[in-house]
Protein backbone atom coordinates (compact mmCIF):
# COMPACT_ATOMS: atom_id res chain seq x y z
CA UNK A 1 0.00 0.00 0.00
CA UNK A 2 1.24 3.48 -0.83
CA UNK A 3 2.07 5.99 1.88
CA UNK A 4 -1.00 8.07 2.75
CA UNK A 5 -0.42 11.81 2.42
CA UNK A 6 -0.91 13.88 5.58
CA UNK A 7 -3.14 16.14 3.50
CA UNK A 8 -5.93 13.53 3.63
CA UNK A 9 -6.06 13.81 7.44
CA UNK A 10 -6.26 17.61 7.20
CA UNK A 11 -9.07 17.44 4.63
CA UNK A 12 -11.11 15.08 6.84
CA UNK A 13 -10.41 17.31 9.86
CA UNK A 14 -11.91 20.26 7.96
CA UNK A 15 -15.16 18.34 7.36
CA UNK A 16 -15.32 17.48 11.08
CA UNK A 17 -14.33 20.92 12.42
CA UNK A 18 -17.19 22.38 14.42
CA UNK A 19 -15.61 25.83 14.73
CA UNK A 20 -16.23 27.25 11.25
CA UNK A 21 -13.46 29.83 11.79
CA UNK A 22 -10.91 26.97 11.85
CA UNK A 23 -12.04 25.17 8.68
CA UNK A 24 -9.85 27.22 6.33
CA UNK A 25 -6.74 26.45 8.41
CA UNK A 26 -7.25 22.72 7.87
CA UNK A 27 -7.90 23.22 4.17
CA UNK A 28 -4.79 25.37 3.66
CA UNK A 29 -2.78 22.33 4.80
CA UNK A 30 -4.78 19.92 2.63
CA UNK A 31 -5.65 21.55 -0.69
CA UNK A 32 -4.05 23.37 -3.58
CA UNK A 33 -5.38 26.90 -4.05
CA UNK A 34 -7.01 25.90 -7.35
CA UNK A 35 -8.57 22.67 -6.03
CA UNK A 36 -11.53 21.30 -7.96
CA UNK A 37 -14.40 19.54 -6.19
CA UNK A 38 -17.27 17.81 -7.98
CA UNK A 39 -20.02 15.66 -6.49
CA UNK A 40 -23.75 15.27 -7.23
CA UNK A 41 -24.49 18.56 -5.42
CA UNK A 42 -21.49 20.78 -6.19
CA UNK A 43 -19.02 21.70 -8.89
CA UNK A 44 -16.59 24.23 -7.43
CA UNK A 45 -13.10 25.49 -8.04
CA UNK A 46 -10.75 27.10 -5.55
CA UNK A 47 -9.98 26.71 -1.89
CA UNK A 48 -12.22 29.64 -0.89
CA UNK A 49 -15.29 28.03 -2.47
CA UNK A 50 -14.32 24.67 -0.97
CA UNK A 51 -14.15 26.27 2.48
CA UNK A 52 -17.55 27.88 1.90
CA UNK A 53 -19.03 24.50 0.98
CA UNK A 54 -17.65 22.87 4.14
CA UNK A 55 -18.92 25.75 6.31
CA UNK A 56 -22.36 25.42 4.73
CA UNK A 57 -22.32 21.68 5.53
CA UNK A 58 -21.28 22.36 9.16
CA UNK A 59 -24.04 24.95 9.63
CA UNK A 60 -26.67 22.64 8.15
CA UNK A 61 -25.44 19.55 10.05
CA UNK A 62 -23.58 20.82 13.14
CA UNK A 63 -23.47 17.41 14.85
CA UNK A 64 -22.48 15.38 11.78
CA UNK A 65 -19.37 13.22 11.79
CA UNK A 66 -17.54 12.38 8.58
CA UNK A 67 -15.67 9.10 8.79
CA UNK A 68 -13.38 7.35 6.33
CA UNK A 69 -14.67 3.76 6.12
CA UNK A 70 -11.88 2.21 4.09
CA UNK A 71 -8.18 2.39 3.67
CA UNK A 72 -6.78 4.64 0.98
CA UNK A 73 -5.94 2.92 -2.28
CA UNK A 74 -3.27 5.05 -3.93
CA UNK A 75 -0.97 4.92 -6.90
CA UNK A 76 0.98 7.64 -8.68
CA UNK A 77 -0.95 10.83 -7.89
CA UNK A 78 -4.40 9.21 -7.60
CA UNK A 79 -6.33 7.84 -4.63
CA UNK A 80 -9.71 6.45 -3.72
CA UNK A 81 -11.43 5.74 -0.43
CA UNK A 82 -14.91 5.26 1.04
CA UNK A 83 -16.58 7.46 3.63
CA UNK A 84 -19.83 7.93 5.53
CA UNK A 85 -21.65 10.82 7.17
CA UNK A 86 -23.18 10.00 10.55
CA UNK A 87 -25.84 12.17 12.22
CA UNK A 88 -27.49 11.19 15.50
CA UNK A 89 -25.72 7.81 15.46
CA UNK A 90 -27.32 6.99 12.10
CA UNK A 91 -25.54 6.70 8.78
CA UNK A 92 -27.10 9.33 6.54
CA UNK A 93 -25.04 8.85 3.41
CA UNK A 94 -22.24 6.60 2.23
CA UNK A 95 -19.98 7.38 -0.66
CA UNK A 96 -16.50 7.37 -2.07
CA UNK A 97 -14.03 9.90 -3.41
CA UNK A 98 -11.55 9.66 -6.24
CA UNK A 99 -8.78 12.17 -5.56
CA UNK A 100 -5.85 13.61 -7.45
CA UNK A 101 -2.85 14.86 -5.48
CA UNK A 102 -0.33 17.45 -6.65
CA UNK A 103 2.97 15.74 -7.42
CA UNK A 104 4.82 18.88 -6.36
CA UNK A 105 3.14 19.76 -3.04
CA UNK A 106 1.36 16.54 -2.06
CA UNK A 107 -1.83 18.55 -1.55
CA UNK A 108 -5.20 17.50 -2.93
CA UNK A 109 -5.90 19.18 -6.27
CA UNK A 110 -9.13 17.41 -7.31
CA UNK A 111 -11.91 15.50 -5.56
CA UNK A 112 -14.60 13.59 -7.45
CA UNK A 113 -17.22 12.48 -4.93
CA UNK A 114 -19.90 9.85 -5.44
CA UNK A 115 -22.86 9.03 -3.20
CA UNK A 116 -24.11 5.54 -2.40
CA UNK A 117 -22.99 2.16 -3.70
CA UNK A 118 -22.13 1.45 -7.31
CA UNK A 119 -25.15 0.42 -9.37
CA UNK A 120 -25.49 -3.27 -10.19
CA UNK A 121 -24.21 -4.54 -13.54
Per-domain boundaries in the chain = 6-104
Helix (H) or strand (E) holding 28: helix 23-30
Alpha-helical runs (H) found in 1-121? 6-16, 23-30, 47-60
Determine the Cα–Cα distance for residues 111 and 94; give it in Å rounded to an integer: 16
Q: What is the dihedral of CA 38, 78, 32, 83, to 10 degrees?
A: 50
Summarised one tens digit per residue, pLDDT across range 18-30 is: 999 999 999 999 9
Determine the Cα–Cα distance for residues 7 and 77; give it in Å rounded to an integer: 13
Summarised one tens digit per residue, pLDDT across range 60-98 is: 999 999 999 999 999 999 999 999 999 998 889 999 999
Determine the Cα–Cα distance for residues 92 and 88; give it in Å rounded to an integer: 9
pLDDT tier, 1 (very low <50, low <70, confident <90, very high otherwise): very low
CATH number of 6-104: 3.10.450.50
**Interior CA angle at 60 toward 54 and 63, to 5°?**
90
Q: Give the residue, 118 or 96, on which the prediction is more confident.
A: 96
Residues contacting residue 68 through CB under 8 Å, at least 6 positions apart: 8, 12, 81, 82, 83
Strand partners, 86: 65, 91
Amino acid sequence: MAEIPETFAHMLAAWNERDTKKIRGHLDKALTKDVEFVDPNYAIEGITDFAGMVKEFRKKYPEASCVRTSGIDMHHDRARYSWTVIIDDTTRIDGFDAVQVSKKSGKVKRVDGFFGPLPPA
